């Protein structure tokens, strides 16, 4: 009887797994790596942040729900119907495009968040100071940009963040605000718990496009094809400051979003940092 019950349970489990895979593919959930995977209400498994855009002008579905992320002071968009955007930039190094980006932000009066790695603080202190002086929030993208989901102990996790806090203090003379973005969007539940325990807010994103390949940049048209139809109220926008395309189009992009009725908020105010 027990063996028969086990066989039945195995068959049911196989059917559910197959059905889940079919639904994931049908939903078109695109991960940061370009793979396809299921949406998660909550998970302790290592995963890549991913989004499924199901309706133009509406927030996408993340592979972890807003309710799940809120438990750990984490978010990927703000929800609601207010047409406010939150611009964020990831910066792993500097290649001459950040100045143009800062110029466009200043022209439009937009306060963005720049998530920086250790190398950026060490090699670009003047740009870091400019970001702060012009009212932008500098966030923690870890010191060495590792896969944080593979770090199991809090001491090692904390070390990646503390190094940047110390560099920020030495460059600006100020204390770094506790806002963090996992490199490559790789995370797991224990990471979210550790970040929260350290007083950090974890920030993912709800709008991005493939702009990070320095030698294979999208055209202006390709960028607008991704960034205009998918914009939505409460979006946290991820761009890379290493993108020459972003440097060239940002002023025009901000204008187009404004013409669509959007305004720009800042994460520092949103998170009450």
**CA 182 from centre of chain:** 8
Active-site residue among 90, 141, 201, 211?
90
- Positive/negative CA dihedral, 220, 140, 232, 27: positive
Phi, psi of 178 (to 5 degrees): -90, 80
DSSP string for residues in 174-242: SPPP-EE--GGGEE-HHHHHHHHHTTPEEE--SB--S---TTSPPPHHHHHHHHTTT--TTBEEEEETT
CA–CA distance, 37 with 192 (Å, rounded to integer): 20
What are the Cα distances from residue 162, in Å, to 90, 140, 166, 178, 195?
18, 9, 6, 10, 12
Within 50-200, where are the H helices? 66-70, 98-108, 118-123, 125-133, 154-172, 189-197
SS percent in the chain: helix, strand, coil, step 5: 45, 15, 40
Whether the Cβ atoms of residue 91 and residue 98 lie closer than 8 Å to each other: yes
- Confirm whether 240 is a catalytic residue: yes
- Confirm whether 126 is a catalytic residue: no
Whether the Cβ atoms of residue 231 and residue 256 lie closer than 8 Å to each other: no
Active-site residue among 201, 211, 240, 266?
240
Q: Which residues are catalytic?
A: 90, 240
């Amino acid at each position: 009887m027990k063996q028969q019950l086990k066989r039945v349970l195995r068959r049911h489990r196989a059917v559910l797994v197959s059905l889940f895979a079919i639904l994931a593919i049908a939903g078109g959930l695109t991960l940061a790596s370009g793979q396809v995977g299921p949406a998660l209400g909550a998970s302790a498994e290592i995963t890549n942040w991913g989004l499924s855009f199901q309706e133009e002008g509406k927030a996408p579905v993340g592979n972890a729900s807003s309710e799940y992320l809120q438990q750990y002071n984490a978010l990927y968009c703000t929800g609601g119907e207010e047409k406010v955007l939150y611009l964020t930039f990831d910066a792993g190094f500097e290649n001459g495009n950040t100045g143009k980006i800062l110029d466009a932000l200043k022209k439009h009066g937009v306060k963005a968040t720049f998530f920086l790695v250790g190398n950026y603080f060490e090699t670009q202190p003047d740009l870091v100071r400019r970001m702060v002086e012009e009212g932008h929030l500098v966030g923690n993208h870890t010191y060495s940009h590792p896969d944080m989901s593979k770090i199991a102990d809090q001491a090692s996790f904390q070390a990646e963040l503390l190094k940047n806090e110390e560099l920020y203090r030495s460059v600006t003379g100020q204390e770094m605000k506790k806002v963090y973005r996992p490199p490559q969007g790789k995370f797991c539940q224990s990471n979210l718990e550790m970040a929260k325990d350290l007083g950090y807010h974890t920030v993912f994103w709800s709008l991005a496009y493939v702009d990070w390949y320095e030698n294979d940049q999208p055209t202006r048209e390709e960028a607008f094809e991704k960034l205009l139809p998918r914009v939505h109220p409460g979006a946290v926008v991820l761009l890379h400051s290493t993108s020459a395309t972003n440097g060239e189009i940002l002023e025009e992009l901000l204008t187009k979003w404004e013409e669509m009725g959007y305004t720009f908020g800042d994460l520092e105010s949103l998170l009450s940092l």
